[in-house]
């Protein structure tokens, strides 16, 4: 069902709606869960991996617009879930969801969305919506699905306008584990599923969970680590009590400055003790804040599996200048102009020149803004896990 971003009249058969805080109304056909949800509307350019995207905690309080038109065509299955905690609240797609065509499918996407409380809106001109986000920034909105087609638009608009938005919001605590746990999962293989993680004399990585994707921990295991995961608000004493060989700082949602209120003091103390550190996405931003840099809200953010990143740091030797195609999901970024002396920029985005990596001089600490674990996405950047774990011996 085609719809226009600025057409408030309800088309025949419309059972779903997206109401933007500026008063724009987008109609479509609802699917998945019924009801309504508020969040920031973003867009993702990946051509596959929609289930991993929808279950990534970094998308908490967000409504994902998929630019690839055929979402749902491979169904859903329990192996491709990145986290069982909160992810995206809903999604907007171009084509109506059809029956899956994949031998791995355990259910269709509509059933999976409904079972997981996520609202979908199909039949939308996603190209027009994406262009609007690119020009005007990511808006706050309410997505709603009601089979009767009856909506209280003024109430939905008020809800969108009253929502505070992601800036200043700490969401890490909402999606983090509540207690420590030993990570058990290893690499996935077709027909065998996920391997078990050996609990042997491997280097011990303590991972702080700000809203982590499970595939990050699997890649740490694949690189040769033994992993223990702690909640976002873990104290320095709790981290050190586990006698880590290195500490990993995970991805996660929300404003890094807000999460940094409790995370940065712990990371600063770890830096002072020269504990090896590796941060991804929000973890990268936490490391930058601990080193004295600042973060900023981006106009539209980076979300997709086709983002080119170039190595620019001096420490890469012959590979300096090499370009990696990466998976990204972030609406905040480290402000490269605020990097203090002793903090080197190691990677930059070739889309807009924004910071994508740092290393701290004299410390065994580095971070990247993108997602080297992929899932979904290319695997150009797995070397980062090997770099971290390999340096813990």
Active site residue 373: yes
The pLDDT of residue 330: 97
pLDDT over threshold 80, residue 106: yes
Q: Please name which of 152, 155, 94 lies closest in space to residue 120, comparing C-alpha atoms.
A: 94
Local confidence band at 187 (pLDDT 50, 70, 90 cut-offs): confident
Q: What would the mean pLDDT of 236-244 be, rounded to a whole number?
A: 98
Is residue 138 domain-resident? yes
Domain count for the chain: 2
Which of 284, 302, 307, 371 is an active site residue? 371
Q: What is the mean pLDDT of residues 106-121?
A: 97
**Where are the strands (E) in the chain, listed by range?**
16-20, 25-32, 35-44, 62-66, 90-92, 119-122, 140-145, 181-182, 185-189, 193-196, 204-209, 226-231, 246-249, 277-280, 295-311, 323-334, 343-349, 355-360, 365-368
* pLDDT recorded at residue 3: 41
Report d(CA 301, CA 169) in Å as an integer. 16
Same domain, 196 and 332: yes
Query: Sign (positive/negative) of CA torsion 368, 175, 63, 91?
Result: positive
Kindly tell me if the per-residue pLDDT of 5 is higher than 60: no
Residues 226 and 345 in one domain: yes
Does one domain contain both 186 and 317? yes
For the cut 90, the answer to whether the pLDDT of residue 314 exceeds it is no
Q: Which residues contact 389 (CB under 8 A, 6 or more apart)?
A: 203, 205, 220, 223, 224, 225, 246
Please say if 371 is a catalytic residue.
yes
0.85 surpassed by pTM: yes
For residue 196, what pLDDT band results from cuts at 50, 70 and 90?
Answer: confident
Residue 263: pLDDT band (50, 70, 90) is: very high
The domain boundary, picked from 114, 135, 162, lies at 162
Mean residue pLDDT across the chain: 94
Domain co-membership, 215 together with 357: yes
Q: Could you give the angle at the alpha carbon of 261 between the alpha carbons of 373 and 288, nearest 5°?
A: 45
With a CB cutoff of 8 Å and minimum separation 6, the contacts of 379 are none
- Domain boundary pick from 106, 132, 162: 162
The average pLDDT across 105-132 equals 97
Phi, psi of 287 (to 5 degrees): -65, -40
- Contact 88/6 with Cβ under 8 angstroms? no
Q: Is the distance from CB of 295 to CB of 257 less than 8 angstroms?
A: yes
The active-site residue, picked from 40, 52, 324, 373, is 373
Residue 239, H or E segment: helix 236-241
Residue numbers of the domain that contains 268: 172-390
Q: Residue 104 sits in a domain of what CATH number?
A: 3.50.30.20
Question: Is 145 contained in some domain?
Answer: yes
**Which residues, other chains included, contact 220 with Cβ-Cβ below 8 Å and sequence gap of 6+?**
183, 205, 207, 227, 248, 385, 388, 389
pLDDT at 1 over 50: no
**Each residue of 319-358: pLDDT tens digit?**
899 999 999 999 999 999 999 999 999 999 999 999 999 9
Q: What is the mean pLDDT of residues 87-110?
A: 95
Q: Which pair of structure tokens corresponds to residue 188?
A: 């996935």
73-106 burial, b for 16+ CB within 10 Å, e for fewer? bbbbeeebbbbebbbbbbbbbbbebeebeeeebe
pLDDT at 388 over 90: yes
Q: For position 182, which CATH number holds?
A: 3.40.50.880
Q: Report d(CA 56, CA 135) in Å as an integer.
A: 26
Residues 195 and 150 in one domain: no
Read off the DSSP letter of residue 104.
T
Catalytic one of 281, 284, 302, 330: 281
Of 162, 196, 228, the one marking the end of a domain is 162
pLDDT attached to residue 253: 98
Considering the domain architecture, whether residues 326 and 218 belong to the same structural domain is answered as yes
């Amino acid at each position: 069902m085609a719809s226009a971003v600025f057409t408030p009249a309800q088309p025949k058969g419309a059972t779903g709606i997206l109401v933007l805080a500026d008063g724009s109304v987008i109609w479509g056909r609802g699917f998945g869960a019924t009801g309504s949800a508020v969040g920031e509307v973003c867009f993702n350019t990946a051509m596959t991996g929609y289930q991993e995207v929808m279950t990534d905690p970094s998308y908490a309080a967000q409504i994902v617009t998929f630019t690839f038109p055929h979402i749902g065509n491979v169904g859903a299955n329990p192996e491709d879930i990145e986290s069982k905690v909160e992810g995206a609240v809903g999604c907007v797609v171009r084509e109506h969801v059809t029956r899956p065509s994949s031998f791995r499918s355990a259910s269709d996407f509509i059933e999976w969305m409904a079972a997981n409380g996520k609202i979908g809106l199909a039949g939308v001109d996603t190209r027009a919506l994406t262009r609007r986000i690119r020009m005007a920034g990511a808006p706050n909105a309410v997505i709603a699905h009601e089979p009767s087609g009856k909506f209280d638009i003024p109430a939905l608009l008020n809800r969108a306008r009253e929502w505070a938005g992601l800036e200043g919001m700490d969401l890490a605590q909402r999606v983090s584990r509540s207690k420590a746990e030993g990570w058990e999962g290893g690499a996935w293989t077709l027909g065998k599923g996920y391997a078990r993680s050996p609990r042997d004399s491997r280097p011990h990585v303590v991972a702080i969970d700000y809203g982590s994707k499970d595939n990050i921990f699997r890649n740490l295991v694949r690189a040769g680590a033994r992993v223990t995961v702690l909640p976002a608000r873990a104290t320095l004493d709790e981290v050190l009590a586990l006698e880590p060989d290195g500490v990993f700082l995970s991805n996660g949602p929300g404003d890094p400055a807000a999460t940094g209120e409790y995370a940065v003091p712990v990371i600063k103390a770890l830096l002072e003790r020269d504990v090896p550190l590796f941060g991804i996405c929000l973890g990268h931003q936490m490391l930058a804040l601990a080193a004295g840099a600042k973060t900023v809200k981006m106009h539209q953010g980076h979300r997709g599996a086709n983002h080119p990143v170039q190595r620019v740091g001096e420490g890469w030797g012959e590979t300096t200048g090499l370009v990696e195609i990466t998976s990204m999901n972030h609406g905040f970024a480290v402000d490269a102009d605020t990097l203090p002396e002793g903090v080197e920029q190691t990677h930059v985005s070739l889309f807009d020149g924004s910071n994508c990596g740092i290393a701290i001089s004299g410390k065994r600490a580095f971070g990247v803004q993108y997602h080297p674990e992929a899932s979904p996405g290319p695997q150009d950047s797995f070397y980062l896990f090997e770099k971290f774990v390999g340096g813990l011996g």
